[in-house]
Structure 1
Amino acid sequence: MKLLGITACPTGIAHTYIAAEKLSRAAKELDVEIKVETQGSVGTENVLTDKDIAEADGIIIAADKGVDLSRFAGKAIYECGTKDAVKDPKRLIQLFLDGTVVAPQASKKLKSVEEAKQEIRGKQNLIYRHLMSGVSYMIPFVVVGGLLIALALAIGGEPTPTGLAIPENSFWMHISDIGGAAFTFMVPILAGFIAYSIADRPGIAPGMIAGFIAANGSFYDSSAGAGFIGGIVAGFLAGYLALWIKRWKVPKMVQPIMPILVIPIISTLLTGAVFIFVVGKPIASLMNGLTEFLNGMQGSSSILLALILGAMISFDMGGPVNKVAFLFGTSMIGAGNVAVMGAIAAAICTPPLGMGLATLLRKNLYNKEEKEAGKAALAMGLCGITEGAIPFAAGDPLRVIPSLMVGAMSGAVIAMLGGVGDSVPHGGPIVALLGAIDNVLMFIIAIVVGTFVTAFCVNFLKDLKQRKDNVSNQKQAARE
């Protein structure tokens, strides 16, 4: 049997490549030939050729964002998230070996109730995929903008009574302005590529235009824009409008101009009108109120926020819950509140760093493969890649995930109370090296504490389990 695969995650850094490696390893163990195309941050690698597709018996799509399936017409396809490929790759391949997944034309029977439920769940998951497609294209703009502004402040900033300030008309002011320009693309890019994920190319123009309208409150008489929430609404609205118009049955002579003229114009007009006259101002008011509320958080309320964000970041290590917290922190950077991202930046790296440290402190609790994964986790943690902890969570979720959450929450709280700020949507020690962190000392302390808490908790729980297993084995041996 020959299978093909595609792996793709929103950021295109870790899940994409971990999932590809797991599928390749599982296929080798099951004596199945497989070629996996990775759609990561550096572009598409190991590209599937027409010959590969023609010879393939099935396709595994392990992706958390939109993937073009048009080239696989008539093939047996199984779609899932990257975490499914990481946790249980053998099961995915076995579905094809057992004949559970078949080509569309080979299945004529009516859907069972369970199959119908699975199809509904798959459609619901599409919403997350469309959102993450927009986020994946937005992130580079925010990273570039944040780093340029941080660099300009760190090198060209001068002390003032209110903090560092860049002198007007200086070289570093121009650098800061370039960074600010990158930030202005954040919401339009988010909206545009959400719409693109839904409706393909006809959706990108109305999505970006609607995103620009969402980001500029002047269109709907508001002093502030609708922010990232407005961008999400605009992207989905433009995308589904474009998709609806794409499905219109029109004369053949009109079909060639539909994607370049009719669909963009009508969907842009409709989306723009809805945003300007209906939803723009209420969403802007909501975002403005949220920003003011967060900026006013002090004491116990800020601790609660940090606890929630730390738990969300570490719960699924790059999955949907993690991305919601991450996107929230990113939006707060644009709103001028870098403290939220500061707490997130500390929480992002403690899961992999904690697991890497745990394997060094108590080697007897881990097998050879886990020790090797620990080394990789340390490297990924230093670069702020939470997914480095996934192999450990997949193998022992009951003990690993709670430990990761406690450690990340500890780090986030210390960062929040220590006044840590992060001006780029990323985390880990690498961000401090790039000069994007305010109060670096407290940031490092937060990471160190979170890392040690994670390592201590997971080793304590694993040791407890090992002791119970030993007692149980001794009792069994005594009975025999």
Structure 2
Amino acid sequence: MKITELLKPESIALGVKASSKDEIIDCLTGLMEQGGRLNDRAGYKEGILAREALGSTAIGEGIAIPHAKVAAVKEPGLAAVTVPEGVDYEAFDGSLANLIFMIAAPDGEADTHLEALSKLSTLLMNPGFKDALIAAKTKEEFLQIIDDTENARYAKKQEEQVSQKSQDAAAQKDAGTEPMPPQSGYRVLAVTACPTGIAHTYMAAENLENMGRKLGIPLKAETNGSAGADNVLTAEEIKNAECIIIAADKNVEMARFDGKPLIQVPVAEGIHHGEELVKRAVSGTVPVYHHSGSVGESERGGSGSSDSLGRQIYKHLMNGVSHMLPFVIGGGILIALAFLFDDYEMNPANFGKNTPLAAYLKTVGEQAFGMMLPVLAGYIAMSIADRPGLAAGFVGGLVAKMGMTFGNPAGGDVNAGFLGALFAGFAAGYILVGLRKLLSKLPKSLEGIKPVLLYPVLGVFITAVVTTFINPYVGMINDALTNALNSMGGTSRVILGMVVAGMMSVDMGGPVNKAAYVFGTAQLAEGNFEVMAAVMAGGMVPPLVIALCSTFFKKKFTEKERQSGLVNYIMGLSFITEGVIPFAAQDPLRVIPSCVIGSAAAGGLSMFLGCTLRAPHGGLFVLPTIGNPLGYLAAVLIGSVIGCIILAALKKNIEE
């Protein structure tokens, strides 16, 4: 598929005048809709704004490529505008954007359109191409420039491949040997990846390969895009390479680079500092990667890890939590449904398993819920030590769950619980990192038995011993925390509910939000169901604040914002806090405080009214499983109204 097949004349606007980034986004989403690419313009714009909230898609030098891959897209497409006077798109280099392409990709399976989008990304690295497009007078000329440049690039690639094959064959003939695959001669290898895998992934790869050719250093770049990995690095290439460059904003497969000099930087570095990276790669001063998640190098050189210690711990923890949540949510909701469908009067002592349906639901739910601690520990350990850490982490989490002690190997003496599994996951990960370094001194002939024998046996055993040793101490902490929560009076419990619910609105899915949610799920595992109820109330309120305010205070919002606001009714009732991100990104000083106050009010009321929640997700859809459901609805509604009134008071009318 060619680029011009994705870009219709109806989706192009030349010589646009705009005073803000938001105006350009609104213009481009309108052009995309005119091209027939969307089934929901408001939903698509929300996706665009959510991506921008993570960081501007301006790549500097006058170019920006906003993009979204969402269900609101009917078919893949492009929209484009030129802005001769430029518009501030928050580029890292401070430049104004003159050429902006917007990408629409449908949610779901990857398709051949991604190849065309990657071509566009690489063509934009050519300054002559960009300047020609900005100077275009008509839409037809604009499309012709793209078509001609794409054809010329394809022809050049073909010519380079033929030339390379001829040179390799001639060199091998002179040496009197059999032809050797050209890929074995790459001095530097690279892997590029961005969160969406649509644009920046391919731009970084193109720039690094171009810099390699410019410097006379053979370089191959693997792209981890939405369609999967392309130009994949082979084991032979990795073995022969002098250095590896990882320019990525998401996880890539790292185990294959164990023992190789490696530079790890954000994907933007590959786009903007490719020449510097390639020169560093062949300097002979790059630290060797030891497959432990850190390369001992900052993003732009220097010492220390590319992430701070706190950031590394947070990333490891979130890896465990994200894998744990499906078990908690699925198991928790099934357990809650078991109580809903059971008959309490039959046997109060066996409530939840009196009827066959309830017994089945509760049994399955308990098994799923019971996996949460081993899964949490396993994937924390895997984040730290990759695959070798998984088994040790799972076993460590299981040992913590059982409450094993040296005095009672069968377990049950202590309640290590969530904190114990958390400790076991980190212990397992760093134990495996230590084992890898220790066993690196073994003869090369024993390399093959490390992953299949030494890592599993030693890792599982040492992790189990360490976790068993620490279980009594973690159990004391857990018991103290549980007793403190149970002994809280009315006022203290209300304050706790206000704090955890307010935290849910601070960063809408960020670290503070996640900390509150993890605390709620941890208390859920300990049988404290009130905290989880307050947490979910706090997460439901922010989207409802936006929805109510955009409905009853229309003058505070644009027409497009009012349309997007309607979607937040569904998102709020479904406990999807992230629906607020586009609004918070545009007006954080008014939106975030209003939502925090509304959430805190809802959480405090939930605690005051004694509401409980056994299912850690679901919003309104799990209302029948909530203790005191009418009180809970009242808490959420009152909190939402409070937040709405505060936001309406803070926001100015659009006409002003």
What is the TM-score when the length of structure 1 is the normalising length? 0.78
1:346 aligns with 2:537: yes
Please list the CA deviations of residues 49-73 of structure 1 after superposition, one character each: whole Å capped at 9, or x if unmatched.
Answer: 314999xx99551x5xx55457999
Could you say which residue in structure 1 is the equivalent of 2:19? none
In the alignment, which of 10, 13, 19 is matched to residue 51 of structure 2? 19
In the alignment, which of 314, 324, 339 is matched to residue 128 of structure 1? 314
Once the 2 structures are TM-superposed, how far is the Cα of residue 260 of structure 1 from its aligned partner? 1.9
Once the 2 structures are TM-superposed, how far is the Cα of residue 177 of structure 1 from its aligned partner? 1.8
Please list the CA deviations of residues 146-195 of structure 1 after superposition, one character each: whole Å capped at 9, or x if unmatched.
Answer: 11111111012324897992354744223212211222211111000100
Could you tell me the percent identity over the aligned residues?
32
Question: Residues 120 and 52 from structure 1, CA distance in 2 versus in 1: closer, same or farther, beyond 3 angstroms?
Answer: closer
In the alignment, which of 308, 323, 329 is matched to residue 514 of structure 2? 323
Please list the CA deviations of residues 242-270 of structure 1 after superposition, one character each: whole Å capped at 9, or x if unmatched.
Answer: 12222342222211111121112212222
- Would you say how many aligned residue pairs link Structure 1 and Structure 2? 430
Whole-angstrom CA distance in 2 between matches of 1:68 and 1:17: 29
Could you say which residue in structure 2 is the equivalent of 1:48? 228
Once the 2 structures are TM-superposed, how far is the Cα of residue 368 of structure 1 from its aligned partner? 4.4
Whole-angstrom CA distance in 2 between matches of 1:376 and 1:118: 44
Whole-angstrom CA distance in 2 between matches of 1:201 and 1:407: 43
Whole-angstrom CA distance in 1 between matches of 2:353 and 2:530: 24
- Report if the CA contact (8 A) 2:373-2:418 is conserved: yes
Once the 2 structures are TM-superposed, how far is the Cα of residue 378 of structure 1 from its aligned partner? 2.7
Could you say which residue in structure 2 is the equivalent of 1:275? 467
Once the 2 structures are TM-superposed, how far is the Cα of residue 218 of structure 1 from its aligned partner? 3.5
1:263 aligns with 2:295: no
1:448 aligns with 2:637: yes
1:157 aligns with 2:343: yes
Per the alignment, in what secondary structure is the counterpart of residue 140 of structure 1? helix
What is the TM-score when the length of structure 2 is the normalising length? 0.58
Q: Which has the larger radius of gyration?
A: 2
Per the alignment, in what secondary structure is the counterpart of residue 49 of structure 1? strand
Whole-angstrom CA distance in 2 between matches of 1:16 and 1:343: 31
Once the 2 structures are TM-superposed, how far is the Cα of residue 358 of structure 1 from its aligned partner? 1.6
Could you say which residue in structure 2 is the equivalent of 1:253? 445
1:217 aligns with 2:255: no
Could you say which residue in structure 2 is the equivalent of 1:235? 425
Per the alignment, in what secondary structure is the counterpart of residue 323 of structure 2? helix
- Report if the CA contact (8 A) 2:53-2:582 is conserved: no
- Quick check: which one's helix share is greater? 1
Once the 2 structures are TM-superposed, how far is the Cα of residue 288 of structure 1 from its aligned partner? 1.4
Question: Residues 253 and 74 from structure 1, CA distance in 2 versus in 1: closer, same or farther, beyond 3 angstroms?
Answer: closer
Once the 2 structures are TM-superposed, how far is the Cα of residue 140 of structure 1 from its aligned partner? 0.9
RMSD over aligned Cα atoms = 3.8
Which segments of 5 or more consecutive residues in structure 1 lack a partner in the other structure?
Answer: 3-13, 80-91, 471-480
Question: Residues 300 and 47 from structure 1, CA distance in 2 versus in 1: closer, same or farther, beyond 3 angstroms?
Answer: same
Could you say which residue in structure 2 is the equivalent of 1:313? 504
The amino acid of 1:436's aligned partner reads T
Question: Residues 164 and 275 from structure 1, CA distance in 2 versus in 1: closer, same or farther, beyond 3 angstroms?
Answer: closer
Question: Residues 270 and 105 from structure 1, CA distance in 2 versus in 1: closer, same or farther, beyond 3 angstroms?
Answer: farther
Per the alignment, in what secondary structure is the counterpart of residue 228 of structure 2? coil
The amino acid of 1:19's aligned partner reads R
- Report if the CA contact (8 A) 2:497-2:604 is conserved: yes
Whole-angstrom CA distance in 2 between matches of 1:134 and 1:453: 35
- Report if the CA contact (8 A) 1:152-1:175 is conserved: yes
Could you say which residue in structure 2 is the equivalent of 1:462? 651
Could you say which residue in structure 2 is the equivalent of 1:86? none
Please list the CA deviations of residues 283-340 of structure 1 after superposition, one character each: whole Å capped at 9, or x if unmatched.
Answer: 0111112112212223111011011101211111111111111111111111111111
Q: Which has the higher contact order (CA 8 A, sep 6+)?
A: 1
Could you say which residue in structure 2 is the equivalent of 1:364? 555
Whole-angstrom CA distance in 1 between matches of 2:47 and 2:387: 26
- Report if the CA contact (8 A) 2:338-2:353 is conserved: no
Question: Residues 275 and 389 from structure 1, CA distance in 2 versus in 1: closer, same or farther, beyond 3 angstroms?
Answer: same
- Report if the CA contact (8 A) 1:313-1:323 is conserved: yes
